[in-house]
Amino acid sequence: MGRAARRLARSLGILLYGLIILTGCAAGTEHINEANSLIENGSYSEALESLEAAEADGEDMILVHRSRGIAYMGLSDYDAAVDEFTAALSSNKGYVRKIDIDISYYLATAEYRSGDVEGANQTYSAIIALYPDEADAYFLRGRTYLVLQDTDNAKSDFDKAIKLSPGNPDLYVQVYEALSDAGLSEVGQRYLKSAMELNTKLSSMQKGRLYYCMGDYERARENLEAAVKSGESQAALYLGRTYEALGDTNYAASLYKSYLDTDPGNAQVMNQLGLCLMDLKDYSAALDAFSKGISIGDPVMDQSLRFNQIVACEEMGDFNRAKTMMQDYLNIYPDDEEAIRENEFLATR
């Protein structure tokens, strides 16, 4: 899987991994609730142990399979996750329950990350067949069409998603970013312009993000600084990227560090800080940032952090350590073509 595909996988994960985790206090789900709490804390192996106890005690097997699937996703074992989500769905006995849609979204994510993009596309199609007003399903299926190099169907799905959720400026940005990752940023620009023309009042964060994507970094900076001052902490990520685009990498790094003082568990910002430090040629500090990011246990960012960690070691000249990390990386992500090529380079060092 190349860099663009990794960005797609991360984006899918960002959208889907935050779907509801069932942590209620229903009777007969004690071990499942414990497992879900462990999953939220990134303790995936321990969660699997709790789910073994849940199965032994006769707790709801639909929820057991669902939580197992999420835990396996956290461990990057996507084939096992697909099996668990499929087992959960196979128990519906011919009728569709609300939880089946939730599980189907997870299944599609696991299918994509296992390399079965067509399978993910078909799963989103199944969701749409049952719930034709699911804007998220159209958007996510559109992204799979981009990977399958079917641009016409991708744009059709994006347009349908926006038609179903016309007042959501964040969706326009997500469509732009999907098209940009696929090398179609010019096509994506029209979605940004449409977002700017929405009748709904845009927040400073939304304006700043739009201006950033449009390349108007001065206006982006102005709006994102206002958003940060008003307490929208997520604006710091785009503000940092804006300062990077303006050439002030030092200040961008300081913004990421300040953000992490209040939210040290944000692996995405930790990764961005590491990339900034790489640009500043502070490879030791960058390596530390990537290592801390990995320890957070965010499955969405794990692949990118691990790859960047290897690059930092290479830049430091520590090729033996880089080789060891690369072998671990390829054990987890064996289909990453960019990493395979990088491994061939390392073999010569």
Is pLDDT above 70 for 195?
A: yes
Segment 206-247, tens digit of pLDDT: 999 999 999 999 999 999 999 999 988 788 889 999 999 999
Token digits of residue 247:
């050439």
- Computed from CA positions of residues 225, 229, 235, 240, in that sequence, does the dihedral angle turn out positive or negative? positive
Residue entry with tokens 């987890």: 332
Q: Which residue has the higher pLDDT, 290 or 265?
A: 290
Token digits of residue 335:
């289909």
Q: Which are the contacts of 136, defined by CB distance < 8 A and separation ≥ 6?
A: 15, 105, 161
Which pLDDT does position 8 carry in this prediction? 38
The CA–CA distances, whole Å, from 245 to 11, 216, 328 equal: 21, 10, 33
Segment 6-45, tens digit of pLDDT: 333 333 333 333 333 444 444 478 999 999 999 988 899 9
Cβ atoms of residues 125 and 134 within 8 Å: no
Is pLDDT above 60 for 167?
A: yes
Segment 52-108, tens digit of pLDDT: 999 999 999 999 999 999 999 988 888 999 999 999 998 766 666 788 999 999 999
Q: pLDDT category, 282, cuts 50, 70, 90?
A: very high
Residue ranges covered by each domain of the chain? 9-115
CA separation for the pair 176, 171 (Å, rounded): 9
Nearest 10 degrees: Cα torsion 17, 23, 29, 31: 70
Q: In the chain, what is the straight-line distance between the N-terminal and C-terminal CA atoms, in Å?
A: 24
* Architecture of the domain delimited by 9-115: Alpha Horseshoe (1.25)
Residue entry with tokens 């699911």: 134
Which pLDDT does position 27 carry in this prediction? 45
Cβ atoms of residues 305 and 290 within 8 Å: yes
CA separation for the pair 117, 209 (Å, rounded): 29
pTM of the model: 0.76
